[in-house]
C-alpha cells in the first residue's frame, strides 16, 4: 500500500495544476476580450473601496 500512495497522489496534483492553469488562462482571455468594460469596472470598484 505505501508504494501505491504516490501513484494515487500524482493524478490529483496534475488535476489541480491543470484546473489552475485553465482558470488562469480563461481569466486572462476574458480580461483581454472585455478589456474596455472590465478596466472601467475595476477603476470604479477601486474608487468605491477607497471612498468607503
| DSSP states of the chain | -TTHHHHHHHHHHHHHHHHHHHHHHHHHHHHHHTHHHHHHHHHHHHHHHHH-
pLDDT tops 70 at residue 4: no
- As a whole number, the mean pLDDT across the chain is 75
Question: Residue 38 pLDDT more than 70?
Answer: no
Pairwise pLDDT comparison (9 vs 19), residue with the higher score: 19
Amino acid at each position: 500500500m505505501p508504494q501505491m500512495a504516490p501513484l494515487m497522489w500524482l493524478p490529483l496534483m496534475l488535476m489541480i495544476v491543470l484546473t489552475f492553469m485553465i482558470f488562469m488562462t480563461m481569466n486572462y482571455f476574458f480580461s483581454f476580450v472585455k478589456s474596455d468594460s472590465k478596466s472601467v469596472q475595476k477603476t470604479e470598484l477601486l474608487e468605491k473601496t477607497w471612498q468607503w
